[in-house]
Chain A
Amino acid sequence: MWNFLRNAGRSYMLLVLLFVLAPIAASLVFSFNADRFPSLPLKGFTTDWYRETFSDPLVLDAFVRSLYVAVPAGMLSTLLGFAAAYTDYRFSFRGKSLFNMLMLLPPTIPAVIMGLAMLSYLSRLNLAGNMYAVLICHVVTGLPFSMAIIRLRLGQMDPSLEPAAWNLRARAGQTLWHVVIPFCRQSLVAAFLITAAVSFDEFIVAWFVSGLEETVPVRVLVFLQGQVSPRINAIGTVVFATSILLVVVGTAFSGLGKASRAGKAVDSSDNA
Chain B
Amino acid sequence: MATPLLEISRVSKRFGDYTAVTETSFNIERGEFLAIMGSSGCGKTTMLRMLAGLEQPSSGEIRLDGVSQAGLSPWERDLPLVWQSLALFPFLNVVDNVAFGLKMRGVKKDERLERARVWIKKLELEEFAERNVTQLSGGQRQRVALARALVNEPKVLLLDEPLSALDAHLSIRMQALLRSLQRELGITFIYVTHSQAEAFSMADRVVVMSRGKVEQIGPPKDIYRFPVNRFVAEFIGNVNIFRGRVEADANGVARLSTGLGPMLASTAGVTVQRGRESDFYVNADQITLGAQAAGENEVSGKLLGYKFVGNMVTLFLELPGGDELKVNLPEPAYDQLQIKIGDMATASWPASAASLFKITE
**A binding-site residues for B, Cβ under 8 Å:** 158, 160-161, 163-171, 174, 178-179, 182-183, 185, 262-272
Contacts and interface: CB of A to CB of B under 8 A. Distances in A.
A168 B137 contact: no
A263 B173 contact: no
8 contacts: A161-B87, A163-B52, A164-B81, A167-B54, A265-B137, A269-B137, A272-B140, A272-B174
Contact of A163 (B74, B79, B133, B173): B74
A262 B143 CA distance: 18
B87 A158 contact: yes
B135 interface: yes
B211 to A, nearest CB: 25
B137 A272 contact: yes
B141 interface: yes
Contacts of B85: 158, 160, 263
A264 B88 CA distance: 10
B170 A167 contact: no
Interface of B: 52-54, 73-75, 79-81, 83-92, 100-101, 103-105, 133-143, 148-149, 152, 170, 173-174
Contacts of A268: 135-137
Given A166-B74, A170-B104, A160 B83 contact: yes
Given A167-B52, A270-B170, A272-B139, A174 B104 contact: yes
Given A158-B87, A269-B137, 6 more contacts: A158-B85, A170-B100, A182-B89, A263-B133, A271-B137, A272-B138
Contacts of A271: 137, 139
A269 to B, nearest CB: 7
B81 A167 contact: yes
A262 B89 CA distance: 8
A167 B80 CA distance: 6
A272 B333 CA distance: 38
A26 B86 CA distance: 55
Given A182-B91, A183-B91, A265-B141, A272 B100 contact: no
A166 B149 CA distance: 12
B75 A263 contact: no
Please give me the 10 A-B residue pairs with the lowest Cβ-Cβ distance, nearest first: A272-B139, A168-B101, A164-B87, A160-B87, A166-B74, A270-B137, A169-B104, A170-B104, A262-B90, A182-B91
B91 A265 contact: no
Given A168-B80, A168-B101, A272-B173, A265 B136 contact: yes
A264 B134 contact: yes
Contacts of B53: 166
A272 B87 contact: no
A270 B138 contact: yes
A262 B91 CA distance: 9
A205 B83 CA distance: 50
Nearest to A170: B104
Nearest to B91: A182
Given A166-B73, A272-B143, A263 B87 contact: yes
A178 B92 CA distance: 10
Residue of B54, B73, B104, B148 most packed against chain A (CB within 10 A):
B104
A168 B100 CA distance: 7
Nearest to A269: B137
Nearest to B78: A169
Contacts of A169: 75, 101, 104-105, 152
Contacts of B134: 263-266
A171 B134 CA distance: 25
Nearest to B100: A168
Given A160-B83, A264-B134, A266-B135, A272 B73 contact: no
A158 B140 CA distance: 19
Contacts of B92: 182
Nearest to B124: A272
